[in-house]
Amino acid sequence: MLLHETYLDTEVIRFHYARAGNGPPVLLLPGSGGWKLTFQAMLEVLAPQYTVYALDPPGQGAMEILDRALSLGADGIARSIAGFLDGVGVRRPAIVGHSWGGGFALRFAELHPDRVARLALIAPGGLDVRDTWEFRLARLPLGGELAVRLALEGSARHLVRKSFAHRERVPKDRLDDYVHMMKSSRLRATLLADMLRMERSVRWSDTEQDLRLVNMPVLLLWGSEDRVLPASVEEHVVSGGGHSLHDDCPEETYALLLPFLGADHA
């Protein structure tokens, strides 16, 4: 697999992303941790059939916010996704979103339904439900800063382990690379500040109220043992799967995801 990893400057964000494969476009929007931690294995699975773009979200990976006035609420991030697609010349991809990346994918699909061919959501945010305690802690004044800055490595490892029902499948090498990158990045303080700003800005009430605007085919996947965002819609619940369902139960996940993505090309 030939992987091209690079940057794209838009008016508001310097995006860090990967591109691989040839075929119909698929955009991967990860949850916390960036694409290398969340979607590295999926990118390799999809690249033989698709042109895959995998983004780092705000406050994660190696992206950088250029316009400090940019809103990091769901609407602001959705607008930035449109800017990225314009920049790489992609009009209407299928989108796969995980966790909060799924929430941003859903909001993008609501605001730009003509730009999404298919929408696959894996344990997504986007519904106005109570967050797990780790995310609520990050929203506290001062306490959130201290928790994130002083406990970055331990917090990252805790959250990743919590997202797996099968602990032996935690991608330790990818997690180690992510922690090392965050500790050594010249932008570390800025990235952490952006991550906290996003956590404190995103509210899913509008996203839930606007579900009627979604008019493309949608696949919803959840794991029955998700301890981060438990299943709130019964569509495809994979027995024994955790929050990082695609890495935790890959065979079951891809048995549903690959036919869904390929339905337009069968």
Confidence (pLDDT) at 1: 77
Q: Which of 201-205, 237-241, 254-258 has the lowest mean pLDDT?
A: 201-205
Of 80-89, 139-148, 186-195, which one has max mean pLDDT?
80-89
Token pair for 206:
């509008």
- pLDDT at residue 56 tops 90: no
**Per residue in 126-180, pLDDT tens?**
876 556 545 555 555 555 555 555 445 566 777 788 889 998 999 888 888 877 7
In angstroms, what is the C-alpha Rg of the chain? Answer: 17
Confidence (pLDDT) at 146: 53
Identify the band that residue 248 occupies on the pLDDT scale cut at 50, 70 and 90.
Answer: very high
Confidence (pLDDT) at 95: 98
> Percent of the chain having pLDDT more than 70?
79
Q: Which residues contact 105 (CB under 8 A, 6 or more apart)?
A: 27, 29, 95, 96, 97, 119, 121, 124
Of 36-45, 157-166, 174-183, 226-235, which one has max mean pLDDT?
36-45
The average pLDDT across 225-240 equals: 78
- pLDDT at residue 217 tops 50: yes
- The total of other beta-carbon atoms located within 10 Å of residue 207's CB is 25
Confidence (pLDDT) at 266: 54
235-250 per-residue burial string, b: 16 or more CB within 10 A, e: under 16: ebbbeebbbbbbbbbb
Residues 70, 76: Cα–Cα separation, whole Å? 7
Q: Domains (ranges, CATH) in the chain?
A: 3-265 (3.40.50.1820)
Q: Which of 13-27, 129-143, 177-191 has the lowest mean pLDDT?
A: 129-143
**Per residue in 86-112, pLDDT tens?**
999 999 999 999 988 999 999 999 999
State the pTM of this model. Answer: 0.86
Q: What is the mean pLDDT of the chain?
A: 84
